[in-house]
Structure 1
């Protein structure tokens, strides 16, 4: 095809300039915090507000959402809730077959659940066995500091047959780097600091809530907690899959974030008397 000489140099230069501008814009977009596929970082306007983290909020994003469980073993249905659910209709949940509940009490050392009393006492009053959980932020304060904050803001335990031991919710960081800027050894040390302090305050070993893929990435798949701390594993699929190292079985399996009623839904690995046994210690 013949090339028209008149104005050809100006046309080519304008096309190259436009292409260069487009490439620069695309490069800037990829580099921006919160761009597609990027983890939110400190100061990132796309990151959620501190205090809004809930159990399993990173599970779908990182592990996906599959079908409902196919297990035929005896399981006892439970839910976990937070301030996102506001006031919960506990009698409706009880009538649907939910017999136990965990309620978010605290996060870091800067947040307590404004709906905690309604949720924690309400579940108890309809007959459920209930407990509380703490969303860990290992990049803000020490494990011991957060364990004490948790116990002081709803994470305590009493042997009344209806209170479950507290839960350390340790998972993907919704506010920044996946492993909170810690090495695997540093993360293990932080977790140990938390669970040791919790036990010294309450006499109970805290339940550890996590997902296998996060545990593998952020603790190096450490196996040292399985003998002492019950496992609550998150996997939204038809089977529980591979467990984190050190645990031969799960105590609780969070199997979906989109159950038929309010909150995330979970199976306790056993009949109701096993839930009561965990409550009694």
Structure 2
């Protein structure tokens, strides 16, 4: 058997491989390539596994122990009846809802940067065509990508806005994580910054300040009851009871109240806090 000398090809190949491996490891630490230590700091959760089961309020009753059953529409001095829908509602009978007194709708458009509602066109355009004022919302997953990335994805897939008197500003759905850690593995400051990124990007793209959908319980637990958004972003709050209850910090009043998750007709039911002309004003900006 020949003896391998220091200058032999076999030794040279191994040396080159060792050097290459060292360089790759060094670069990986700097840029965070997958499978390296550098990726740990920038690791993201996998994309949503069942986004068709995630809608505004889908996690509220589950985590807060509230009654999501049918509730007779609360009697308010000045309010407009609305619904919110997503793919789990399928094709919606908009004429039935319109005839029952529903005048506005929010439709789930997107989740993370990988999911679009397959029923979006029928729901978003159908509500508009029947005469409703309608808007789109995004189900946030702050552990899968940045706020800016998700805001751009939302705008690019149905979440835009136009001053036609019939389109509400987009809404950001911030609620309990259906896939893991309640607060998406982020600190209170981290979540607040993620939302600031989302809202700033949405406004840069559309010129509008978006609505935020959230419950007081989640907000307290996951943002430290931040007051950073109350003076800017209209509040859409879920509470399945006879009153809207305590509001998150920063908001002196709510704009929309989701008062039941299983109303008498399809979709979750909501009340806009004001007369119809104020709903039109929100649409017009």
**Which TM-score applies when normalising by structure 1?**
0.82
Q: Which residues in structure 2 correspond to 1:82-231 (within 5 Å)? A: 82-231=86-235
**Once structures 1 and 2 are overlaid, which stretch shifts more, 54-63 or 193-202?**
54-63
Question: Once superposed, what is the RMSD of the aligned Cα atoms?
Answer: 1.5
Alpha-carbon distance, 1:62 to partner: 2.0
Once residues 50 and 115 of structure 1 are traced to their aligned partners in structure 2, the CA distance between those partners, rounded to angstroms, is 13
| Structure 1 gap ranges (5+) | 1-41
Please say if residues 51 and 110 of structure 1, whose CA atoms lie closer than 8 Å, have aligned partners that are also in contact.
no
Once residues 213 and 118 of structure 2 are traced to their aligned partners in structure 1, the CA distance between those partners, rounded to angstroms, is 22
Aligned match of 2:263 in 259, 265, 269? Answer: 259
**Which TM-score applies when normalising by structure 2?**
0.81
Once residues 279 and 115 of structure 1 are traced to their aligned partners in structure 2, the CA distance between those partners, rounded to angstroms, is 23
Show CA shifts across 1:98-147 (max 9, x none).
00000000000010000100000000000000000000000000000000
Alpha-carbon distance, 1:50 to partner: 3.8
Please say if residues 52 and 87 of structure 2, whose CA atoms lie closer than 8 Å, have aligned partners that are also in contact.
no
Please say if residues 138 and 190 of structure 1, whose CA atoms lie closer than 8 Å, have aligned partners that are also in contact.
yes
Structure 2 counterpart of 1:65:
67
Structure 1 counterpart of 2:55:
54
SS at match of 2:53: coil
Alpha-carbon distance, 1:68 to partner: 4.6
Matched, 1:74 2:78: yes
Please say if residues 91 and 126 of structure 1, whose CA atoms lie closer than 8 Å, have aligned partners that are also in contact.
yes
